[in-house]
Amino acid sequence: MTTATHDEWLHRAKTFAPPRTHLIDGEEEAGGGSTFTVVSPRDGHVLADVADAGQAEVDAAVAAARRAFDHGPWPRLAPAERGRVLIRIAELLEEHRAELALAVSLEMGKPITDAHDIELRAVINTFRWYGQLADKLTDESPHTAPDALALVTREPVGVVGAVVPWNFPLTLAGWKVAPALAAGCTVVLKPSENSPLSALLLGRLALEAGLPPGVLNVVAGDGPVAGRALGLHPDVDVLAFTGSTAVGRHFLRYAADSNLKRVWLELGGKSPNIVLPDAPDLEKAAATAAWGIFFNQGEMCTAPSRLLVHSSIAEQVTEAVVARARALRVGDPLDPA
């Protein structure tokens, strides 16, 4: 858990040096020179003017990923070797945990305790888990007729495009990038234009861990330009997206209009809590409902934004939920309290 004080986090914020360039083929690239501004929701100040990816930058990133997949060492490494690199990424994420947590808190407003203790824990554990799994994925030899042999082999699919939102910028990036790398794929990651800084730092740490150039490329830019270019690109073999249902539909259309790439979608929901009179602990139910809607500022696709309560207990549960909400402390996300 974080033990730094509010003043210590404020000091770190003053010396924080945000990344400003794409990561393409192992190099920091400014692209064509256009930029966009990343503004901290904490206080409205400008964190950085970051290179803005257009078609040319996405093309360069995909070309680097394609070369790394078709001709580079990563897909041809022994799975145990890939696993060791992923575990090294996890170790570097742990070493840079404070810097990454600060980047997340500054760019999207997550309370620093949640950024450090929850967001970073999740992404570190994700890379470590897939690193340990990499050499344990097996092929199959299904039972069939006595005079026949059937084999099922699993191979890396190729270039993976990953587009992730701002509410869990590192966790959701890790959920997409780590399994793709473990399988031997190469990746082009496009973080949200609201929260690109932590993803760019992740890409640099992956290089430091020994990931070959071109295996993980990170391009910063908005959805209608950079996201669309990635979705339509004929050299992207698979695309993974977390975000809104409306944008998910766009990616399915992009796949249809290009190379019929497979698209894996995790889309927003409208989740209810249902509380019935036979609940064994109504106070706990109310506390869980309040936590669920307000955790991560309510910026969750699984946030229970509807509360369906039996009429016989509606007043009791509603009052308890409201009391929990009133007790929340709102303030500077860099304050651990």
- Residue 52 domain flag: yes
- Active-site entry in 8, 91, 266, 299: 266
Regarding whether 294 and 214 lie in a shared domain, the answer is no
Has residue 89 got a pLDDT over 90?
Answer: yes
- The encoded tokens of residue 211 equal 């990931």
- What is the DSSP track for 114-146? HIIIIIHHHHHHHHHHHHHHGGG---B-----T
Segment 94-117 mean pLDDT? 97
- Residue 193 domain flag: yes
Segment 94-112 mean pLDDT? 97
Candidates 281, 291, 286; CA nearest to 309 is 286
Mind listing the pLDDT tens digit for each residue in 188-204?
999 999 999 999 999 99
Has residue 119 got a pLDDT over 90?
Answer: yes
- Residue 336 domain flag: no
Tell me, what's the pLDDT at 271?
Answer: 85
| Domain count across the chain | 2
User: The CATH number of the domain where 208 resides is what?
Assistant: 3.40.605.10
Distance CA 296, CA 25 (A): 34
Regarding whether 250 and 206 lie in a shared domain, the answer is yes
Domain boundary among 229, 252, 267: 267
CA distances, 151 to each of 50, 76, 134, 182, 250 (Å): 48, 20, 20, 22, 37
Has residue 124 got a pLDDT over 90?
Answer: yes
Structure confidence at residue 310 as a pLDDT band (50, 70, 90): very high
Tell me, what's the pLDDT at 32?
Answer: 87
Question: 35 forms bridges with which residues in the sheet?
Answer: 51
- The pTM (predicted TM-score) of the whole model is 0.94
Regarding whether 314 and 219 lie in a shared domain, the answer is no
CA distances, 69 to each of 268, 323, 331 (Å): 32, 55, 46
Regarding whether 198 and 107 lie in a shared domain, the answer is yes
Q: How many CB atoms lie within 10 A of CB 93?
A: 25
- Per the annotation, the verdict on 266 as an active-site residue is yes
Regarding whether 173 and 65 lie in a shared domain, the answer is yes
- What is the DSSP track for 280-316? S-HHHHHHHHHHHHHGGGG--TT---EEEE-TTTHHH
Regarding whether 227 and 182 lie in a shared domain, the answer is yes
- Residue 334 domain flag: no
Regarding whether 151 and 23 lie in a shared domain, the answer is yes
Regarding whether 248 and 315 lie in a shared domain, the answer is no
Has residue 301 got a pLDDT over 90?
Answer: no
Mind listing the pLDDT tens digit for each residue in 19-68?
999 999 999 999 888 999 999 999 999 999 999 999 999 999 999 999 99
Percent of the chain with pLDDT over 70: 100
Q: What is the mean pLDDT of the chain?
A: 96
State which residues form the domain around 286: 272-327
Distance CA 161, CA 189 (A): 6
Mind listing the pLDDT tens digit for each residue in 250-293?
999 999 999 999 999 999 877 899 999 999 999 999 999 999 99
- Residue 20 domain flag: yes
**Number of DSSP helices (H) and strands (E) in the chain, helices first:** 12, 11
Is 312 buried (19+), middle (13-18) or exposed (0-12) by CB count in 10 A? Answer: exposed
Q: Which residue has the higher pLDDT, 152 or 269?
A: 152
- Per the annotation, the verdict on 301 as an active-site residue is yes
Helix (H, G, I), strand (E, B) or coil at 43: coil
Domain boundary among 250, 267, 284: 267
Has residue 2 got a pLDDT over 90?
Answer: no
Has residue 132 got a pLDDT over 90?
Answer: yes
Regarding whether 302 and 252 lie in a shared domain, the answer is no
Regarding whether 244 and 222 lie in a shared domain, the answer is yes
**Residue in the structure block whose two tokens are 């997206």:** 241
- Active-site entry in 27, 301, 315, 319: 301
- Residue 316 domain flag: yes
Regarding whether 289 and 185 lie in a shared domain, the answer is no
Regarding whether 176 and 109 lie in a shared domain, the answer is yes
DSSP element (H, E) containing 159: strand 159-163
Check: CB of residue 235 under 8 Å from CB of residue 186: no
Tell me, what's the pLDDT at 302?
Answer: 85
- The encoded tokens of residue 33 equal 């020179």
- Residue 172 domain flag: yes
Check: CB of residue 132 under 8 Å from CB of residue 83: yes
Q: What is the 8-class DSSP label of residue 271?
A: P
Domain boundary among 215, 250, 267: 267
- Residue 49 domain flag: yes
